[in-house]
Structure 1
Amino acid sequence: MVSVRRKAGFTFIELVVVILVLVLLSLGAAPKFLDFRDNAKIAILEEIAGAMHNGLALVHSKAAVEGQDSAVGSIVHAGVTIPLYNGYPSVDGSDTFRQLNTQIQAWLDIDSVSLTDIKINNDAAAFFVDKSSRNNQIYLFFAEDLADKKVSFKCHIMYQNITTENGYEISVETDDC
């Protein structure tokens, strides 16, 4: 009679094959997990844009109540004087980064600092405010993106007071998030 020995464990080749399969599976899944961070940043920017719309509606309502909703005016909101154009916050490119940050914080409760302050301390806040003086636009960037920020960097929110039906424009750029 022939005795049959039972194997106890895996052979070396079986272990290599199992490890190889696990590595291939993880390589396929890794991009999906890494994408969560990008998706989170995009969701945060979209959420802030929604909060901006709500804050702007509140400012416009207060401006209407105070008779400051047509042409040039101003209101005091949350202890800050906000310059207005047609009842919405007016962006003046000659304002300092700190002045614009203070105005944004009055109508949008957000953890932000000015571009000037974020350069001093990159951990000062989650976001920083930048501007385009020539175009009278305000930009809101993630503080962690300071090193990547340039004119063409697209992971931000832009606010601009314009002469349209809404009186303002908010755009969310997420290509580089």
Structure 2
Amino acid sequence: MTAMTPQSRTEPDLSFLLDHTSHVLRTRMAAALAEVGLTARMHCVLTHALEEERTQAQLAEIGDIDKTTMVVTVDALEEAGLAERRPSSADRRARVIAVTEEGARVARRSQEIVDGVHGETLGALPEGEREALLSAMNRLVSGLLAEPVESPRPARRPRQRG
């Protein structure tokens, strides 16, 4: 069996292009959010917890965060004084993640940082290409690439650096 060389490809290597740009964007985001002492996961939890009262499980679902990582993330937010676990106002048996006043301030700043990284990234493209990229990506994530496909050997997500 002969390995397929790049010269014999009939289609662009979309997997490489998406993986590489995603990885580099994540590293840029991590470096920028470090300015306010947050990770991307911490930012995600804070901003979504600010929108409405949500449980840890709901926030994990929104952010596509596994249970163990979610516990560690909320523990770190609590330790930093940015959020706390509280009983739900709707169901006293449920616990929600409540953002502290300092957490809300940090979340506003982190959203500015995230928007800045995204703006800088998109700003590297001419306006027409920017709009075309966003339109195409939105079409893919709401269409063909909306949901993972079941497979006997699931694809692993790339490891995140701590």
Bigger relative contact order, structure 1 or 2 (CA pairs below 8 A, ≥6 apart): 2
TM-score (normalizing by structure 2): 0.30
More helix by share: 2
TM-score (normalizing by structure 1): 0.29
More strand by share: 1
- Which of the pair has more CA radius of gyration? 1
